[in-house]
């Protein structure tokens, strides 16, 4: 395959190339790529903004992450934060820092993933920046969304006796990372081809996560208003402790209520890992953790993709998990902390 050097296009030529088929989907996008700034108008709705930085070697490893998947995931992790506010994502701004090891074709692949995620979540790419980087691939995305006035959901508004709920299943992405890291080490030391043991589900949970647009749509259709919510990027324990701290409440969750996928569970056992620990502390699932009033019990229960895992308690000092055997343990955050050495 031919390789086109980025330098042969120049910065503006590269941006023109990468955005040549960029179409506007939202009425709120008034002016998109091509001027000094974009213009959006949410027509009386409130604007929600979130940003994420992804760095090669910290957040992703290009030795096992296809560029198309990386482009897709970069958008998904950002729109997930907008959904976590009970809002609808509408636009993104994407900036990248690249070294000369990347060709135009490689960036085309990355942007293919970006556009696939924009299409899936009905989001417009409205601008950004490209620059050279000496330290690997740098990706910065700002996501913009809209919400009806005062319908956004915060982390600090959980109430005593609220039900604690999660979407989907937990721990899969961590197990996907575990197998990919293991195979990378084997490859580096022996040159043996990676054996992912047909674990397509857990590898996919890491490389191609999904933001839960469908859950936010379900809330709207069923008239469910979560009392608090956040997405699970650093592990369930860590996120639930955030909600408790910011809402000044405690919690009880039940080990046997945690949603685990069969593939994840079986593979955890095979690695001699505790599936519960993977669910509590594994990051990057991008599921939604939310609390609802008990009056919404039936509406939440009616959706097979949602699990009620516990309830909010009054004492902020007590945050516990009750095991299958009936023992009570303190909930601790062993999720991923990228600032710790």
Q: How far is residue 174's CA from residue 271's CA, in Å, rounded to a whole number? A: 12
User: What token pair was written down for 311?
Assistant: 């309830």
Residues 81 and 194 in one domain: no
The model's pTM is 0.92
Q: Where residue 35 falls among pLDDT bands split at 50, 70, 90?
A: confident
Query: Beta partners for 289?
Result: 166, 230
Local structure of residue 59 (DSSP, 8 states): T
**Residue 236: pLDDT over 80:** yes
User: What token pair was written down for 68?
Assistant: 């198309």
Residue range 240-248: mean pLDDT, rounded:
97
Q: What is the dihedral of CA 237, 238, 240, 246, to 10 degrees?
A: 150
Mean pLDDT score of the chain: 92
Write the CATH number for 276: 3.90.650.10
Examine the fold and report which residue of 147, 172, 200 is the final residue of a domain before the chain moves on.
147
pLDDT of the residue at 1: 67
pLDDT of the residue at 12: 74
Has residue 263 been placed in a domain? yes
Pairing outcome for strands 319-322 and 288-292: unpaired
Q: Count up the domains in the chain and report the number.
A: 2
Residues 203 and 229 in one domain: yes
Q: Tell me: the pLDDT tens digits for 68-94?
A: 999 999 999 999 999 999 999 999 999
Q: Which domain holds residue 37?
A: 10-147
Has residue 341 been placed in a domain? no
Has residue 178 been placed in a domain? yes
Q: Tell me: the pLDDT tens digits for 139-162?
A: 999 999 999 998 999 999 999 999
Examine the fold and report which residue of 147, 174, 190 is the final residue of a domain before the chain moves on.
147
Report percent pLDDT > 90 for the chain.
79
Examine the fold and report which residue of 112, 147, 182 is the final residue of a domain before the chain moves on.
147
Has residue 153 been placed in a domain? no
């Amino acid at each position: 395959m031919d390789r086109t050097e980025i330098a042969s296009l120049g910065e503006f030529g590269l941006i023109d190339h990468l955005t040549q088929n960029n179409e506007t989907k939202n009425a709120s996008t008034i002016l998109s790529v091509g001027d000094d700034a974009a213009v959006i108008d949410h027509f009386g709705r409130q604007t929600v903004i979130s940003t994420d930085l992804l760095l090669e070697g910290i957040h992703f490893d290009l030795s096992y992450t296809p560029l198309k998947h990386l482009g897709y995931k970069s958008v998904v992790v950002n729109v997930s934060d907008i959904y976590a506010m009970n809002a609808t994502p509408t636009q993104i701004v994407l900036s990248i820092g690249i070294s000369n090891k990347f060709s135009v074709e490689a960036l085309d692949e990355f942007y293919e993933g970006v556009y696939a995620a924009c299409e899936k979540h009905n989001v417009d790419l409205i601008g950004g920046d490209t620059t050279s980087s000496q330290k690997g691939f740098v990706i910065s995305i700002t996501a913009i969304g809209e919400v009806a006035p005062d319908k956004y959901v915060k982390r600090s508004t959980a109430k005593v006796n609220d039900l604690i709920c999660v979407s989907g299943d937990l721990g899969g992405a961590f197990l996907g990372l575990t197998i990919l890291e293991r195979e990378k080490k084997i490859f580096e030391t022996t040159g043996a081809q990676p054996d992912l043991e047909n674990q397509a589900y857990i590898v996919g949970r890491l490389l191609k996560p999904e933001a839960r647009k469908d859950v936010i749509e379900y809330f709207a259709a069923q008239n469910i208003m979560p009392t608090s919510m956040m997405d699970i990027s650093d592990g369930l324990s860590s996120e639930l402790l955030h909600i408790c701290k910011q809402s000044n409440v405690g919690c009880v969750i039940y080990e046997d209520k945690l949603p685990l996928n069969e593939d994840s569970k079986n593979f955890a056992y095979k690695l001699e890992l505790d599936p519960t620990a993977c669910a509590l502390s594994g990051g990057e699932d991008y599921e939604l953790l939310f609390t609802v009033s008990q009056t919404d019990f039936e509406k939440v229960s009616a959706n097979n993709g949602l699990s009620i895992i516990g309830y909010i308690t009054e004492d902020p000092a007590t945050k516990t998990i009750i095991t299958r055997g009936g023992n009570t343990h303190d909930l601790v955050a062993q999720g991923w902390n990228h600032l710790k050495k």
